[in-house]
Amino acid sequence: MDAIQALLSRASAAKLGEPAPSDENLDTILRCAMRAPDHGRLRPWRFLVIRGAGRRDFGDVLADSLRRQTPHASDDMLERERAKAMRAPLVVCVAAAVRHDSNIPRIEQILSAGAACENMMLAAYALGLGAMWKTGAAAYDDNVKIALGLTPADSIVGFIYVGTSSVPPKGQPQIDSATLVTSWPPVAS
Ligand SMILES: Cc1cc2nc3c(=O)[nH]c(=O)nc-3n(C[C@H](O)[C@H](O)[C@H](O)COP(=O)(O)O)c2cc1C
């Protein structure tokens, strides 16, 4: 797929199912992620690939997080949280392992990890796969980071769910670019 066409038409998948990306497609998606702009070439990204039965463990981590944050969460709420891990056959947790021994600002390292997420979204789409970028409270929970082998100093920037889109993508919203794009300095009228 042409790059501009992919950029202009990409949409999040509304629902994902099997099959999971092949190993070859996953490798392509991750290599695209690692082409994200990266000030100082710090490679501040971490990619945790969760699939198959590993998703059940991930679901338990999500449910534990909700239980800690909402002690009165009902069994239904906990089950819904656990089920999020099964939204797709494959999930990649993308984190920024911010290097504090560098003079590159923390925000730029986190932005680089966000750019890696977007590269993954676009790569999946261009390969004919579907993807969703999710965070939620769990992404900001230190206990979740530790359970996933990260440290509290790391920032989870996305859980990228990847699979096969089982419903047509949503339509593209109209965006009034005139409210978002201006010339600077303002042109005198
Ligand atoms: C950092 C980040 C976190 C997000 N987290 C969530 C989330 O937790 N739940 C959700 O429904 N959408 C989340 N979104 C938004 C969706 O991924 C998606 O971009 C949005 O629904 C617009 O759909 P589109 O990608 O098809 O334009 C997040 C987006 C970003 C950039």
Atom of ligand 1 nearest to the CA of 114: 1
Which of 87, 112, 121, 133 best tests ligand 1's pocket when mutated (most atoms within 8 Å of CB)? 133
Look up residue 122 and give its two tokens.
């676009």
Q: Is 12 in the pocket of ligand 1 (CB under 6 A)?
A: yes
- Cα distances (angstroms) measured from residue 47 to each of 56, 117, 157, 174, 180: 18, 10, 11, 33, 33
Q: Is 134 in the pocket of ligand 1 (CB under 6 A)?
A: yes
Cα-Cα-Cα-Cα dihedral sign, residues 109, 111, 113, 116: negative
What spacing in Å lies between the alpha carbon of 102 and ligand 1's midpoint? 30
**pLDDT tens column, 25-51:** 999 999 999 999 999 999 999 999 999
Q: What is the pLDDT along the chain (189 residues), one digit of tens a residue?
A: 799 999 999 999 999 999 999 999 999 999 999 999 999 999 999 999 999 999 999 999 999 999 999 999 999 999 999 999 999 999 999 999 999 999 999 999 999 999 999 999 999 999 999 999 999 999 999 999 999 999 999 999 999 999 999 887 777 788 899 889 999 998 877
